[in-house]
Amino acid sequence: MSELLLFHHAQGLTSGVVAFADALREAGHTVHTPDLYHGKTFDTLDDGIAYARQLGFGNIAQSGVDAARNLSTALVYAGFSLGVSPAQQLAQTRPGARGALLFHGCLPVSEFGASWPSAVPVQVHAMDHDPFFEEDAGAAQALVKDAPLGELFLYRGDQHLFTDRSLSSYDEAATSLLMRRVLEFLKRN
């Protein structure tokens, strides 16, 4: 079974993020879910983004990197949207990474180095008409093209945080398919 470090999105460590982590735990995986907002959650994405700006995106990413400090290096790093930044940074730069799961976002590989580590498998998941993912789509396509073990999965729809069952953007069918793919990924890695 895998050990994951899973980072929440801009609305915080919501009950939907916890439920997603719990589903992975029920499948036998160990999942760490650091709270980069120290207990705060937000009802809207706009409010969460405003809070993230207040804290500073760089500070949030550094808090995520710091969360890995006392954990094994043999981790799968995962993140939802805002949480993609520390997940991707750790997967690209921390030796021993076993994989990366990037939900609803992707940064250019150049943000954290010259190339994606060839031995680190990665999956990127997003909806095909998500307006927030549109600016990340090119980075996601480039990443999976260059990563020998890279996969990009696009789901039909226009919702951003469709995997969070506590939000109105939740899409049960898409999340179910995503979870099957994630569990298969974790079996391989």
Q: What is the CATH number of the domain that holds 159?
A: 3.40.50.1820
Q: What is the pLDDT of residues 63-103, one digit of tens each?
A: 999 999 999 999 999 999 999 999 999 999 999 999 999 99
Please give the tally of structural domains in the chain: 1
1 or 114: which leads in pLDDT = 1
SS3 of the chain: helix, strand, coil, percent, to 5: 40, 15, 40
Range of the domain at 70: 3-188
What pTM does this model have?
Answer: 0.97
Rounded to 5°, angle at Cα 150 from 23 and 28 = 20
